[in-house]
Amino acid sequence: YRTHDAAASLDFRTLHVPDELRSRCPGAKCGGVPFSMTVRRHHCRLCGDIFCDACSNKRCLLPLGGQEYEKPVRVCDP
């Protein structure tokens, strides 16, 4: 984290969609599979929405502060 980076001056926060607002995955890859005991919900750390594993199996480093962002985090597929 360097203070001269352009991203360092951004005030970026992700608002997570509450679990109870999504009964199905909104991703296109899975076709809207319903969440269940075997199809888990995963929050995208970039957009905050909830996806199944097939639609959010990518990881990337985000230029955000905090221990959670020191390693690659789960993001949804574009």
> Cα 55 to chain center, whole Å?
10
Mean model confidence pLDDT for the chain: 86
Task: Scan for tokens 């957009």, then name that residue.
Answer: 47
The Cα 24–Cα 34 span in angstroms is 4
Convert the pLDDT of each residue in 19-45 to its tens digit. Answer: 999 999 999 999 999 999 999 999 999
Q: Which pLDDT does position 1 carry in this prediction?
A: 44
The Cα 69–Cα 27 span in angstroms is 23
- Consecutive H or E run containing 42: strand 42-43
CB 24 within 8 A of CB 39: no
Q: Which pLDDT does position 10 carry in this prediction?
A: 59
